[in-house]
Structure 1
Amino acid sequence: MMILTLAVSGYRSLRDLILPLDRITVVTGANGSGKSSLYRSIRLLADVAQGRAIASLAAEGGLSSTLWAGPEAFSRAMKRGDVPVQGTLRKGVVSLKLGFADEDYGYAIDLGLPVADGTSMFNADPEIKAEVLWAGEALSRANEIAGRTGPTARVLNPQGQRIPVVQNLAQFDSMMTHAADPKDGLELLVMRERMRGWRFYDHLRTDRDAPARFPKIGTRTPVLSADGSDLAAALRTIQEIGNPVALADAIDDAFSGASIEISVNEGYFELLMNQKGLLRPLRASELSDGTLRYLLLTAALLSPRPAPLIVLNEPETSLHPSLLEPLGRLIRTAAEKTQVIVVSHAEVLVHALSDAPGCAHFHLYKELGETQAGVDDTPRWKWPSR
């Protein structure tokens, strides 16, 4: 189910960003333009479904460290440069908002600062001020399916009544993890599982001590792990129950005449690569960083269990320029079954994707410290009220 709209407000340089997504969405921009912030905001949204959003914010330095650091609003004089950018009297509450809408449902969450009581050592933890799940493109009173204010989560029953299903939610607990139920919160359950299926790849290690370089106990692995440690098992799984032809083609496309094989010794799986002109296969420990990264991305993108969404952050890292066009073709193949967001600096990769059917390209830039995407036709969006 494809995500149509992504919305972020108050997160780092993303003061108020609403993007229309497509089957492939490419995000580019100069260093410091907000690409990493956009990537992190999507990860944070996914963490909500795992019950990890508060901990993830804490790992970034807490809510106060991740909030938009500029003024609440820019005056015309500030935008013209007639006066310096300066704080104004705040009219709204401090808030970090994340949301998205797919072809069926939309979801948004509003995180804010707690009211300090002077007794707790967790007063820096953000609180969930509001959450809502709705049907359709944009939130309205008529299409709200489930909502949470304070400790109470309500869902719409078959009779059209909004009934409480949980009344003691802690301020740090999401209705996604505590009110999703096959009986009274089926839509919440469906959305939660979709979000839990999102995959993120930005820490695929290829250094000398990378786990993917060494034999590892293998089991059927339809989904490559985030660090790529189970690469050999993941590739063998594609060969057995996935699309072995697409796998072989992707490798030959990048390394003409090359092929892979997986050896097993007492349950330990090891990747071997045959290359044209060599008398023996190379072990994973002998592969260059770029070759290993390409194989890791291949295993991620050709998963026999396609994800609703895959987000790749600078996948071109360590790749030789000659591998960028094959990577683009690989991403296009994956996008036939999976929505893909690519954050990239590589012009060759961007060009290889830009003419793909259903490709949106956003070039981020900053204006007065705020990330802009130059969207001409902003999708309809409404945040939940507290």
Structure 2
Amino acid sequence: MITTLAISGYRSIRELVMPLERLTLVTGANGSGKSSLYRAVRLLADVAQGRVIGALAREGGLESTLWAGPEAFSRAMKAGHQPVQGTLRKGRVALKLGFASDDYGYAIDLGLPPADATSAFNQDPEIKAEALWAGECLRRANEIASRRGPAVQVLSETGTRDTVLSTLPSFDSMMTHAADPTSAPELLELRERMRGWRFYDHLRTDRDAPARRPQIGTRTLTLAGDGADLAAAFQTIREIGNPVALDEAIADAFPGSSIEVSVGNGLFELLMHQHGLLRPLSTAELSDGTLRYLLLAVALMTPRPAPLIVLNEPETSLHPNLLPALARLIATAAERSQVIVVSHASGLVEALSGERDTVAYELRKELGETVTDCPDPPAWDWPKR
């Protein structure tokens, strides 16, 4: 389980270190930085997939995603006695992301590349430093693997730090190029764990959504990010998951209703039986809210629980009457997976706040910076370049 999340220099987040629980709720007004926090966690997952540089490019490049305020706020600035202005920078321009878990921690430092007149990729960020360690906070004594520039060192069984790569390109992570079952098994284990993280923020319910049409189906242990394989994933839960709990989740939200999976010519389609109707409704006929709840139910009740599930505004399109059922669905999922919920639905947050092993953060802006109340932030150190 992730115990600490750390973000530095990303969009409206200048510096944020926050402890996480089995179920973490993130709320706040529009523009408070909820999406920035969600994207930061997703960027961490992109590191393990080898996609972090491309992901930043799709966001407009590193310069457009960097914290746009001053490196630090003086007391006079915070008190309003002095205008917010830049001062002489002491540290390097950097976007830093990291986390600590029950066993391992990882952090990455991305910076601007030196100008190169021979290259057309001068806007691509560079990976300046990375670190993998054992325990809650990075120390030299517990560092297992480190990357400084193009060199990667790994702690060997004899206690020496061996250089396993010396020419790692600045756009490649040691996560994808140094993970090895023999020389760096911890790096390999953490990479595969991060690749198992699941993010749901684009579950489509529009008229042209893939979930509204019959789709070719195979056993599906993880619902796709756009929900295209809804029917196959539902049937997979029926066959090798917990069908009783799935049916109860449907009945909890839609009393008297049940789901049937129709299979013909290899195409899977979801049909919903509702009390009082003489025929079932296909997904093409369902309301956006009904379809979204079905998508969330299948995503959260997968037979193969993810180490981490992150939901971004799952309440979208849902009637307020469905929020208690959604809260119970999320609470049940948190018994098998760590869950982060980013939401501005007070009804959902309130329903989940009473669950055990739960922490809630309300984000807000102060002088353009995303902050939250965290009385006892965990200790945190970033890897040195």
Q: Cα distance, 1:166 vs. partner?
A: 1.3
Report the residue type matching 1:195 in the other structure.
Answer: M
Give 2:148's aligned residue.
149
Aligned-partner Cα distance in 2 for 1:347–1:64: 34
Report the residue type matching 1:4 in the other structure.
Answer: T
User: Mapping of 1:26-45 within 5 angstroms?
Assistant: 26-45=25-44
Give 1:384's aligned residue.
383
Aligned-partner Cα distance in 1 for 2:373–2:362: 8
Indicate yes or no: 2:332 matched with 1:322. Answer: no
Give 2:200's aligned residue.
201
Residues 329-376 of structure 1, C-alpha deviations (whole Å, 9 max, x = no match): 000010110000000011111111000011100000011111001111
Give 2:135's aligned residue.
136
SS at match of 1:361: strand
SS at match of 1:18: strand
Unaligned runs of 5+ in 2: none
Aligned-partner Cα distance in 2 for 1:347–1:75: 34
Give 1:122's aligned residue.
121
Q: Cα distance, 1:143 vs. partner?
A: 0.2
Q: Cα distance, 1:207 vs. partner?
A: 0.6
Q: Report percent identity of matched pairs.
A: 72
Superposition TM-score, scaled by structure 1 size: 0.99
Aligned-partner Cα distance in 2 for 1:8–1:118: 32
Aligned-partner Cα distance in 2 for 1:255–1:58: 42
Give 1:213's aligned residue.
212
Q: Cα distance, 1:150 vs. partner?
A: 1.2
Q: Cα distance, 1:55 vs. partner?
A: 0.3
User: Mapping of 1:1-386 within 5 angstroms?
Assistant: 2-386=1-385
Report the residue type matching 2:282 in the other structure.
Answer: R
Q: Cα distance, 1:119 vs. partner?
A: 1.6
Report the residue type matching 2:327 in the other structure.
Answer: G
Report the residue type matching 2:82 in the other structure.
Answer: V
Aligned-partner Cα distance in 2 for 1:194–1:36: 23
SS at match of 1:353: helix
Q: Cα distance, 1:284 vs. partner?
A: 0.7
Superposition TM-score, scaled by structure 2 size: 1.00
Residues 311-335 of structure 1, C-alpha deviations (whole Å, 9 max, x = no match): 0000000001111000000000101
Report the residue type matching 2:48 in the other structure.
Answer: A
Q: Cα distance, 1:118 vs. partner?
A: 1.6
Residues 207-232 of structure 1, C-alpha deviations (whole Å, 9 max, x = no match): 11100000001000010000000000
Report the residue type matching 1:362 in the other structure.
Answer: Y
Aligned-partner Cα distance in 2 for 1:356–1:305: 23
Aligned-partner Cα distance in 1 for 2:344–2:230: 25
SS at match of 2:268: strand
SS at match of 2:90: coil
Unaligned runs of 5+ in 1: none
SS at match of 1:299: helix
Which structure 1 residue ranges, 4+ long, deviate > 4 Å from structure 2? none
Aligned-partner Cα distance in 2 for 1:373–1:184: 40
Aligned-partner Cα distance in 2 for 1:190–1:229: 29
**Please, what is the CA RMSD of the aligned residues?**
0.5
Report the residue type matching 1:215 in the other structure.
Answer: P
